[in-house]
Structure 1
């Protein structure tokens, strides 16, 4: 029905404006004469007052010309402004019908887009188990919700995203295994290094960092051993206590503990005591 609507034939009468300055040649001659009169005028301390007066006269003439230009422009614009107002009034009449239709179409498009979103989410949930990923990990591409995007293209897009996410999972899992094995070989708790890996740090960088940490620990242990050896030169054992002969201070006690722990925990405990120069010995079987 919209195609049957048409406006009646109408024309607009207008004439191209003709703006003519009568006696233009005489006006131009007069302006040039004023300009030439003051051309090259020397401005000095002695002619300052005269120079300012001359400038004021020239500016007055210039302002008179500009005022006339503005007057003509205003009169020239008035017919167009009346015509433009009439056209705008007609357009507003049509807008009173166009705007509700626009709003309705937008609402319909939003509803259709939400329906497409529901279908995309259902497709993601269906495909996720095949890639061992969580549906919430998949960020929806806005183009998947376009009316012109086919289901085949959406499915391929989801598959690409899930494949990328799965690779990230596999890489992380492999990295965790590598870091864990490497750290445990040095009797180091891998948890902190794994946290850095999960935050995006490179595996090779972390392996080098572990090497550096082991080196620092070794240097620290050597320093502590040297300090302990030096301290032992002025220490004596009395009744289970170690006493510094220089200061009389009790620097250590011998304590017997019974510890119950898993083998991995025992290894961590032993590594801690070794790194902190805590002497210990096994008692019994």
Structure 2
């Protein structure tokens, strides 16, 4: 009986199989083939009609019987030929089954141990990140560990992180630190630029949280400012045009201003009202489908152009 935990080498269990290659042949095959060919050819082009259908059915039945007789012989030989192989396979499976029975509990125990070891490495990894992260001003909870960091190769036999693992964690934290500093600088620049140009900074700052940079947003804010300027210029032109049209309709008679269309006298207060009358406003409901970034840009555009809007509950 082997000692405890002694593993036998595969060559110690090799076995020899007495096997002789068999050959299967059909006596007088060529003669048989010729007869079958002649018999089949005799009826291959048989004309089948109302007058010959009975004979045709008989011929078909005979041909099928001939085919069955030939194939039955093949099946009989195959059964005899396969029998030794089946017996051999049965004996081999009995042997491998005994080995599988020995493997199963060992495999279960090994996997259970591997799970426990991985769970311990995971806990040790979290502790390692918590220890290093503060040096980079990073919250440990914000670090997403790489799955490979829990592999056994990343830890020493004593359960300590390898140099490679420590370096990998440090590189991840350094990258997060640089990203955090960039976002902070971009937020400060974005907020200052938005306030300097009378834009609501909130929507622009939200975009930095999703990966946008100040350089990206500067282009968009400049576009919003241009739209606002163009809208103001249009409004001024419309106001000037309205005043010009109103003035063109008026006539000065005896020191009084007369409406050229109605003939009524326009008082000084009415004149002021005509000159400063606000443009007609409209209210329309729209359903807009776009990305969050586009939605914020639309909101800024409407704000910069003095367009009032409100969210509809449930929309």
TM norm structure 1: 0.69
Structure 2 Cα separation of the partners of residues 90 and 19 of structure 1? 31
Give yes or no for the alignment of 1:148 onto 2:178.
no
Shift in CA distance, 34/136, structure 1 to aligned 2, threshold 3 Å: farther
Equivalent-residue separation in structure 1 for 2:47 and 2:174 (angstroms): 82
**1:192, distance to aligned residue in structure 2 (A):** 0.9
- 2:152 is paired with a residue whose SS is coil
Unaligned runs of 5+ in 1: 252-271, 278-285
CA distance 1:141–1:236, change in 2 (3 Å): farther
Q: Which residue of 2 aligns with 1:98?
A: 103
* 1:16 positional shift: 2.3
CA contact (8 A) 1:131 1:166 kept: yes
List per-residue Cα deviations over 1:134-156 (Å, max 9, x = no partner): 21222222222222224111101
Q: What is the distance in 1 between the residues matched to 2:192 and 2:112?
A: 58
What is the alpha-carbon distance in structure 1 between the residues aligned to residue 129 and residue 267 of structure 2?
73
**Which aligned segments of 4 or more residues in structure 1 are displaced greater than 6 angstroms?**
6-9, 42-45, 52-60, 234-237
Q: 1:120–1:144: 8 Å Cα contact kept in structure 2? A: yes
Q: Spell out, residue by residue over 1:226-269, the C-alpha distance to the aligned partner (whole angstroms, 9 max, x if none).
A: 33344554897759xx7569xx99x8xxxxxxxxxxxxxxxxxx
Q: 1:91 to 1:57 in 2, by over 3 A?
A: same
Q: Does 1:23 find its partner at 2:34? A: no
State yes or no: 1:205 paired with 2:208: no
Q: Does 1:183 align with 2:188?
A: no
8 Å contact kept, 2:228–2:304: no
Q: Which residue of 2 aligns with 1:3?
A: 6
CA distance in 1, matches of 2:225, 2:101: 78
Question: What residue is the counterpart of 2:232 in the other structure?
Answer: 221
Q: 1:127: which partner in 2?
A: 132
Structure 2: stretches of 5+ with no match in the other structure: 156-161, 248-265, 281-301, 308-315
How many correspondences in the alignment?
A: 251
**Structure-to-structure mapping, 1:1-285, within 5 angstroms:** 1-3=4-6, 11-34=16-39, 65-150=70-155, 151-231=162-242, 233=246, 238=269, 243=273, 276=306
Give the Cα–Cα distance (whole angstroms) in 2 for the partners of residues 189 and 65 of structure 1. Answer: 93
- By how many angstroms is 1:56 displaced? 8.4
Give the Cα–Cα distance (whole angstroms) in 2 for the partners of residues 211 and 43 of structure 1: 91
Q: 1:112 to 1:124 in 2, by over 3 A?
A: same
Q: 1:273 to 1:160 in 2, by over 3 A?
A: closer
Q: How many angstroms does 1:188 deviate by?
A: 0.9
CA shift in 2, pair 1:9/1:228, >3 Å: closer
| C-alpha contact 1:221 1:276 (8 A) present in aligned 2 | no
Following superposition, the deviation at residue 2 of structure 1 comes to: 3.6
Cα distance in 1 between the residues matched to 2:48 and 2:71: 30
The question of whether the paired residues in 2 share the 8 Å contact of 1:176 and 1:197 is answered with yes
8 Å CA contact 1:236–1:244 kept in 2: the answer is no
Instruction: Calculate the TM-score normalised by the size of structure 2.
Output: 0.64
